[in-house]
A and B are shown apart, each in its own frame.
Chain A
Amino acid sequence: AQSVSQHNHHVILSEAASLELGCNYSYGGTVNLFWYVQYPGQHLQLLLKYFSGDPLVKGIKGFEAEFIKSKFSFNLRKPSVQWSDTAEYFCAVNAPMGNTPLVFGKGTRLSVIA
């Protein structure tokens, strides 16, 4: 069965600091990988996704993630965070054949302070 580990429960950064959130998954085959963001009181929003090809994926709002197959990792990065990035971030995986549910990590809360 698939599982997703997000190592950081709560990250606090100052504005303009760089961000890296860890995500590791456990699955024996090919996977699709996702990062979602949930702003306070809001619904899930897709930040970026990886299916195949270039392992460095660029998403919305200046976020990017790198798929490292050998490490089963898909870490999320942003070079300079803003106060508006304060949110909960979820890493998720599913199998690529379709009709398979996403498995979510427990999430990382990011607090950006001025």
Chain B
Amino acid sequence: SAVISQKPSRDICQRGTSLTIQCQVDSQVTMMFWYRQQPGQSLTLIATANQGSEATYESGFVIDKFPISRPNLTFSTLTVSNMSPEDSSIYLCSVARENTEAFFGQGTRLTVV
């Protein structure tokens, strides 16, 4: 299993500002994944963070808007830049090991006003 600590758990931010979300895993993992869950929607993969290389972004997500850091095998950050109300969502980090379920952080509920 894996225990994931994510913070902040929630925040209310002014439009135009940026928020950095932190994700700490209790064991080393190669890949960490960042998801977004917009209100009333499913989870959409934003990017895959691999230690030692640039993150790989899914279609519709760009590095300038969602820069990701992965300084070591247990930690990653996602920044939501130049926020607008449309960025109001729950952001989750996740890890997946072979033949186990994926593990999720508790999520960061972001409201942009």
Contact among B33, B97, B104 for A98, CB-based, below 8 A: B97
CB distance A94 to B96 under 8 Å? yes
CB distance B99 to A98 under 8 Å? yes
* Interface 0/1 of B54-65, CB less than 8 Å to A: 000000000000
Q: Is the interface of A mostly helix, strand, loop or mixed?
A: loop
A106 to B33, CA, bound (A): 18
Number of B residues with CB within 8 Å of any CB on chain A:
21
Pair count A-B, CB < 8 A: 55
Interface residues in B37-91 by Cβ distance below 8 A to A read 41-45, 48
Contact among A32, A44, A92, A104 for B99, CB-based, below 8 A: A32
A92 to B43, CA, bound (A): 10
The distance from the CB of A104 to the nearest CB of chain B, in whole angstroms, is 5
Number of A residues with CB within 8 Å of any CB on chain B:
22
Contact among A32, A49, A100, A107 for B42, CB-based, below 8 A: A107
Asked if A29 CB lies within 8 Å of chain B CBs, one says no
**Residues of chain A whose beta carbon lies under 8 Å from any beta carbon of chain B:** 32, 34, 43-44, 46, 49, 51, 90, 92, 94, 96-107
